[in-house]
Structure 1
Amino acid sequence: MSQPKFRHSLLALAIASVVSFPAYAQAQDEQEQQAEENGKLERIEVTARRKTESLQEVPVSVSSFGAGDLEQLGVEDITELQQRIPNATIQVSRGTNSTLTAYIRGVGQQDPLWGFEPGVGVYIDDVYIARPQGAVLEVFDLERIEVLRGPQGTLYGKNTIGGALKYVTKELTGYNELSLQGTVGSYNQRDIKISGQTALTDNFFVGGAVASLQRDGFGEYVNTGDENYNKDLLTYRLSAKWLLSDTMDLKFSYDKTEDESNSKGAHRLLTSSVTGQEPYEDVYDSNTAMPVDNLVETEGASLVFNWDINAEWDFKSVTASREGYTDTNIDFNATGEPIFMVPAIYEDEQFTQEFQLSYTNNYNFDFVGGVYYYDGEACGVFGTVLPMYLAAFGGVTVDNGGCVQTESLAVYGQGNYRFNDDLTLTIGGRYTSDEKEADVFRYTYLGVHYINRAGLDTPYDPNEVIDTFGQPFSVNSNFNSQGDWSRFSPHVALNYDLSDDVMIYGSYSNGFKSGGVDMRGDKSLNPTIDEPYDPEIVDTFEIGMKSELLDGRMRLNSAIFYSDYQDMQVTVQRVVESGISSQVLNAGESTVKGFEVETVFAATDTLNFTAMLGYIDAEFDSVVYEEPATGETTDVTDAWSFQNTPELTYNLGMNKTFEMESGQVVWSANYAFRDDTQMFEAPSPLDQESYGLLNTSVVWYSVNGQWNVGLHAKNLTDEEYRVGGYNFGPTFGDDAVVAYYGDPRTFSLSVGYKF
């Protein structure tokens, strides 16, 4: 085994990372070795356009993060990428442990209710993940993570109008590999990760990985003694690859994640008018009147067939299925008194099939196109338990549930034509046809009822709910709704090489997020709630530059973008006598514009600096909606602002390597800043002021490359920062204004060994 060498390119983090740091490899091709000897940045490869290309040759805003780089920094899950990507919000959703909230350039989806579509598409390898539950993916057994910014409607389809996040797992090579890593840290963190692969025959490879991630809570439920913000997660992945011939291979993959962390308790921002409880000094402490049991399970399987037909044509088939289950409790009041409680169950399943054909003539033209089919069902039920309201009747319970069935078919294609060595034209398009059918029920019962998990064969059958709770006092909703939409999403780009080291490009991209039905709809309050809401549409124009300067020691990439955002879907919830009234608005017209700059500079052979800057100006041009109860129109154009979209984001990082007889020590540090952030469209007490996070890592790598020991410190200044919350104001006799927070200061020590 050769001695590891420090890669000055810092692989993925050379693009948008907060720090740049080393990657180690047992073998490097001649190009990479020459780059290192000359002190230059190495080539970074991405698959943003469904083929392998150099990052510097792709006229798309994309960031790529290598597995070794993320592990070196101690990155635990994909939400930590938020610090490293301009104009992005990637974090755990309010009141959950593993549900993802993702926004890029002002576009996303905060509400994780079944039936709502994400605005940033998440992919594991080539498989689209339709639901945000369980989408906070852990960093293990991966090759890289790519994040594409801006609409990706042509190659990645609907629901990627903000961008796409691609989690690429480690490829099976047939080599004998085994890696072990153990981590201990603050709050009794104790993680174990094991991965490996081997060849059973000359043409049949198998691999697997498992991770057990445990941590005590950052706080506690004071009134019960249970842990709050703890972690109890097990995830594993199995794969097999069969080389059918020199031109064909078949790969099977299976993954499963089980998260049994406690439900997450919120921090009250106001003193309770019912109990007199004041906000706790520790923002991670809470109270609850509900059980803290919580379960999120996700699993999926895929079968990928590759066929190199000849030197010019390639064929790929991706067949996949996934399913998820969530059983959770949210205490919106967080006082310990049963005032405003919501137990909930979500279930989903999906089947996808993609056929893809690619062509290249090695001269001036290449093309990729295909057909994509999606069939999915998302179901759920939640109860709003209000025992202090209508006390004479022993309380009130409102049960809301149903299913939404989605079927989608798309045809797409994109080609690149090179007029000469310097000028390339890209033209693509995707036609998508979407059909949805939803069943929604909403019943009000006198008395306090909890969802009987054991008594319901499915969590969404209204007949079984009635059998369990008896006849409802009021039927607020019980309707079926159907909708269908079709859309052609074009893409055009022109890129020109000013020199061997500088490329400029201009592009236009269109994308849409599917329409749907409000699964919280209360027809007794809004007679038209059964009518589907429309899709969102985004048209984005972008001008960018990708360059390598100073004889290959500096990489500087930048982009300016302008987006016309139409029919933005906004969920508005109001407090009414019987609970919470919901309405999904297509909120008029919006304009989003801004710029992004990412750079890495190898100052010396052992010292590197990185910087990232993102600026965004997102404004509503017109938002006028009708009040269901009165029919009056309300203009909130000047009152609303974009949620989860800070105007300024930046980070600065450095990386220094020290040579030792025993190996190498790499010290890295970074500071990541986020501007003021509004949690919802309307201003609220939850809004987060600007803050910055300071992180540092010191990692030792042995001479033979087998051992590594890393010490990681995150949020060194112990900043308190909100990542979500609920703002219902005076609700059922008390103020339900509660917040959820990002991680406090933590330290961890990791030891890894590779056979």
Structure 2
Amino acid sequence: MSITLALLLAAQTDAATAPPTPQAEPAPAQVVVGASAPGAPTRTEEDVQRSSAAADVVVTARRRSEQVQNVPIPISVVGVKELDNTGSFNVARLQQLQPTLQFYSTNPRNSSVNIRGLGAPLGLTNDGIDQGVGVYIDQVYLSRVAAATLDFLDVQQIETLRGPQGTLYGKNTVAGAISITSKPPSFTFEGRAEVTAGNLAFKQAKASISGPLSDTVAVRLGMSTTDRRGTIYNVRTGTNVNSQDNLGVRAALLWKASDALNVTLSGDYSRQDPDCCAQIFVRVGTTQRALNRQFDALAAALNYEPPSRNAFDRVTDLDAQLQARNVLGGVSLRGELQLGEGTLTSVTAWRFWDWLPANDRDFTGLPITTLSQNPTRQDQYTQEFRYAGEGNGFNYVAGLFAFYQDIHTTGTQRQGTAASRWLINPPANGCTASPTALACDPSVLDGLTASNDIRLKNFSGAVFGKLNWDVTDQVTLSPGVRLNYDDKVGSYVSIVRDAQGNLVPYSGGTARQAAQRDAIQPQAFEGEAYRAWNVTYDVTASYKPSRDILLYGTYAHTFKSGGLNLNGVPVVNGVVQTQLAQIAPEKVDHFEIGAKSQFWDRRITLNITGFWTQIEDYQAVVNNQSTSTLRGYLANAGKVRVRGVEADFSVRPSERLNLYVNAAITDGRYVDFKNAPCPPELSGGPAAPVGSAGGPAGVPGAQSPVVCDISGQWLPGISRAAFSYGGEYNVPAALFGQQGQAYLGIDANSRTKFSSNASRSIYTDINGYTLANLRAGYRTDSGVNVFGWVRNVFDNNYYEVLATTPGNTGLIAGNVGDPRTYGVTIGASF
């Protein structure tokens, strides 16, 4: 932590002979309206209801304070008032306000944040690859998407930048960045508290306080806690699962060392410990597996029936332990020195992540897989130096970035008493006639245990810069470049033992051991390394014909780092396919044109963006259809393409009324993916000759192709059309002698059908849906706000994620979205 302070103090000493540069006082906190926020009050929080003109929202997307309408980047901005009013306390809720943002999660670790459908492959998280969407909190890059599942802590503003961000930000990200800015310590004493109660025993409390410790030191403390009963009832245990149990605290200390130097030390700790996460029975889709080995026949052989075949009954009978303890935290030291005609910034940070899960990976109430967990510990260290300067007719950002990550995962999978009958091909004459057959002997797989040891050491370093050159008063050219080096070294070791502790060999052995190996395949590769240099560059041209109109176009050539398959790779005839251990980097070409505009004395904001992104060697999840610890590995698709149009509109005709509509039309497809995994309806049968298309889909016993050509199919997770819209109306009112406003607000989002499987399946498309939310309340001029709210007003049934399950039995499991919820919130600030 001494790096930041020592270097900045040294720089300040060197600059002491130069004329001092006065440091501007921080601007008042801006609230969000305009292009991408729900209807909201304008101007600063202090001036919230005094004007009908649209606010000039200030962002730091280009590492300097600018009005958002003057930045030639598509940016969605949400402030603290919008987060509170709409109940958007994490990224999962935030996506309902921003149609180009997608968030999918089956548990905190297996979460993905995508922008325009790009970022991370939909499916099980693989630690060996980078994220395509960068999440930053107070300029510190977070390498784990698990952070996105936690509650926002004392947030001032969230900026979502769409498109590649490699020449302005520390970590290269090909799809965009989410930059979260916390409220800074204040030299004016202030505080805020809010409590919420609702159905499903929902309880949430948030509080913060800030003030001076001296003339040069200020402190800020914040906390948040959320608790809610689970939405799924487990008839086996008599408990509600998929609950919420979040706790977060944050502290920040600001030292104004001089008129030119500010130093901020901050630390945070967040913990989730819910009874979670159950994926429940959704449907059965027929595969090409033999009929007696599909779900219904296997369940009948074991006298099993799910508690309900309607997922929206919200019941399950999962018999394995469920746990999703997720702990993140860290410390950062940020120094900002006014040096010459610019600002030198240093950000030094350490962060940790502890993940302690337990899952039911057979997705049934049968003792097939009785233990499935991959507890993980990560430490990451980052250092960024950045100088934002300006000259006559130009300004620029130049930076150095270093990132180091150390991950250690120790996983366990254990089979139970029903595993043999479920996983091994039974004799033709049945178990009654052949009770000693392997499938009929529970002891063959009962107690079979895989112990995994997975390690990754990941270094990334970069030099980057961006220039904004004012060619004329109206035309600006903005080229940028980045030189990046990645060095990843990893290993994957899976040792399998039977119930007596005997090792299961990688190949050969007895028929019993071969059956055990088919259930859980031992494998190992160590010291696998990926090392590469890459160059990123982009250029933006912008034209500002008038104060309230900005036109721009961008081309970016960028990449997502290659990586390692740390979920394991296939084993063929006892040989570990180590040639699949490395994943090639994605090569990205991105084109974008846009217009930002305001009309009617800035009461109307209309921003439109068109984009075209194509990626070669797209990193996709390939699902292995066996019931082994290898549940999915990574492969490179030949080429994908995402294109679309986005429009953000808001209007504030008066102080009483504001409205907004955000829309995204997106077309995401595999352009070339000829060797893709096949969907379940084309899997599980005897192997077809190489190159053959196999037999009819979903016909038991038909031949299954070795690979499938899915060129032209949808990319997963992308709706063709998505919208968010809403507004708020208020009237002046007095209550108990307090002047204020009564208000009614609505926010809603709609999306069309999307695929939930890497290879689109007839069983895993998710139908489109609309979610509408209402709020009504009263707020005073003195800072009190009381309102009632309803989320999912019409109690619509919808799926968040659907997933194929191991073994080609045809079982489809999934996550159902929240039902209607309602409650009351009381908040006060001073």
Deviation (angstroms), 1:164: 0.4
1:554 partnered with 2:604: yes
CA 1:63–1:626: 2 relative to 1, 3 Å: closer
Distance 2:530 2:263 in 1: 37
* Counterpart residue type for residue 829 of structure 2: K
3-state SS, counterpart of residue 264 of structure 1: coil
Partner of 2:287 in structure 1? none
* Counterpart residue type for residue 436 of structure 1: K
Partner of 2:279 in structure 1? 266
Measured against aligned partners, the alpha-carbon deviations of 1:702-721 in whole angstroms (never above 9, x if no partner) come to 1323x111212111011122
Measured against aligned partners, the alpha-carbon deviations of 1:12-31 in whole angstroms (never above 9, x if no partner) come to 242223x3023686644xxx
| Matched-pair contact (CA < 8 Å) for 1:126–1:318 | yes
In the comparison of the two structures, how many residue pairs are matched? Answer: 711
Partner of 1:366 in structure 2? 395
Partner of 2:410 in structure 1? 381
- Please show how residues 229-308 of structure 1 align to structure 2 within 5 Å: 229-270=242-283, 273=296, 274=299, 275-277=304-306, 278-280=308-310, 282-308=312-338
Q: 1:332 aligns with which of 361, 369, 375?
A: 361
CA 1:421–1:448: 2 relative to 1, 3 Å: farther
1:421 partnered with 2:496: no
* Counterpart residue type for residue 492 of structure 2: V
Distance 2:171 2:344 in 1: 23
CA 1:99–1:204: 2 relative to 1, 3 Å: farther
| Matched-pair contact (CA < 8 Å) for 2:622–2:676 | no
3-state SS, counterpart of residue 430 of structure 1: strand
1:718 partnered with 2:718: no
3-state SS, counterpart of residue 562 of structure 1: strand
Measured against aligned partners, the alpha-carbon deviations of 1:725-754 in whole angstroms (never above 9, x if no partner) come to 4302655xx554210122211112111122
Partner of 1:752 in structure 2? 827
| Matched-pair contact (CA < 8 Å) for 1:574–1:582 | yes
Deviation (angstroms), 1:189: 0.8
Distance 1:448 1:498 in 2: 78
CA 1:546–1:26: 2 relative to 1, 3 Å: closer
| Matched-pair contact (CA < 8 Å) for 2:321–2:359 | no
Partner of 2:785 in structure 1? 708
| Matched-pair contact (CA < 8 Å) for 1:374–1:407 | yes
Deviation (angstroms), 1:187: 0.5
Distance 1:149 1:232 in 2: 31
Q: 1:347 aligns with which of 377, 381, 387?
A: 377
Q: 2:545 aligns with which of 495, 498, 512?
A: 498
Runs of at least 5 residues in structure 2 that lack an aligned partner in the other structure: 1-28, 285-294, 421-441, 502-518, 679-686, 692-705
Distance 1:682 1:410 in 2: 35
Deviates more, 1:346-355 or 1:567-576: 567-576
- Please show how residues 284-683 of structure 1 align to structure 2 within 5 Å: 284-310=314-340, 312-340=341-369, 341-361=371-391, 363-387=392-416, 388-390=418-420, 391-395=442-446, 396-447=448-499, 475-522=522-569, 524-525=571-572, 526-529=576-579, 531-576=581-626, 578=628, 580=630, 582-625=632-675, 634-638=707-711, 640-662=713-735, 663-683=740-760
Distance 1:134 1:68 in 2: 22
* Counterpart residue type for residue 40 of structure 2: F
Measured against aligned partners, the alpha-carbon deviations of 1:230-263 in whole angstroms (never above 9, x if no partner) come to 1111110011011111101111010001111112
| Matched-pair contact (CA < 8 Å) for 2:350–2:382 | yes
Distance 2:677 2:724 in 1: 43
* Counterpart residue type for residue 392 of structure 1: S
CA 1:529–1:276: 2 relative to 1, 3 Å: farther
CA 1:581–1:193: 2 relative to 1, 3 Å: closer
Distance 2:811 2:579 in 1: 26
CA 1:78–1:524: 2 relative to 1, 3 Å: closer
Q: 1:185 aligns with which of 171, 194, 198?
A: 198
Deviates more, 1:403-412 or 1:581-590: 581-590
- Please show how residues 733-748 of structure 1 align to structure 2 within 5 Å: 735-748=810-823
Higher strand share: 1
Partner of 2:217 in structure 1? 204
Partner of 1:106 in structure 2? 117
* Counterpart residue type for residue 496 of structure 2: T
| Matched-pair contact (CA < 8 Å) for 1:229–1:284 | no
| Matched-pair contact (CA < 8 Å) for 2:108–2:146 | no
| Matched-pair contact (CA < 8 Å) for 1:423–1:495 | yes
| Matched-pair contact (CA < 8 Å) for 2:263–2:334 | yes
* Counterpart residue type for residue 285 of structure 1: V
| Matched-pair contact (CA < 8 Å) for 2:33–2:41 | no
Distance 2:227 2:773 in 1: 22
CA 1:579–1:313: 2 relative to 1, 3 Å: closer
* Counterpart residue type for residue 241 of structure 1: L
Q: Which has the greater radius of gyration?
A: 2
Distance 1:66 1:577 in 2: 46
CA 1:189–1:635: 2 relative to 1, 3 Å: closer
Deviates more, 1:430-439 or 1:617-626: 617-626
Deviation (angstroms), 1:374: 0.4
* Counterpart residue type for residue 300 of structure 1: G
| Matched-pair contact (CA < 8 Å) for 2:570–2:630 | no
3-state SS, counterpart of residue 107 of structure 1: coil
Measured against aligned partners, the alpha-carbon deviations of 1:26-50 in whole angstroms (never above 9, x if no partner) come to 644xxx99xx54x321101111111
1:12 partnered with 2:43: no
Q: 1:698 aligns with which of 776, 786, 800?
A: 776
| Matched-pair contact (CA < 8 Å) for 1:221–1:265 | no
3-state SS, counterpart of residue 50 of structure 1: coil
Deviation (angstroms), 1:224: 0.2
3-state SS, counterpart of residue 94 of structure 2: helix
Q: Report the identity percentage.
A: 25
Distance 2:521 2:226 in 1: 45
Deviates more, 1:41-50 or 1:390-399: 390-399
1:686 partnered with 2:764: yes
| Matched-pair contact (CA < 8 Å) for 2:32–2:41 | no
| Matched-pair contact (CA < 8 Å) for 1:265–1:285 | no
3-state SS, counterpart of residue 80 of structure 1: helix
Q: 1:51 aligns with which of 51, 64, 89?
A: 64
Higher helix share: 2
* Counterpart residue type for residue 108 of structure 1: G
Partner of 2:40 in structure 1? 21
Distance 1:739 1:565 in 2: 29
| Matched-pair contact (CA < 8 Å) for 2:803–2:812 | yes
Distance 1:522 1:595 in 2: 38
- When normalised by structure 2's length, the TM-score is 0.82
Deviates more, 1:364-373 or 1:382-391: 382-391
Deviates more, 1:332-341 or 1:477-486: 332-341
| Matched-pair contact (CA < 8 Å) for 1:13–1:69 | no
Partner of 1:462 in structure 2? none
* Counterpart residue type for residue 474 of structure 2: D
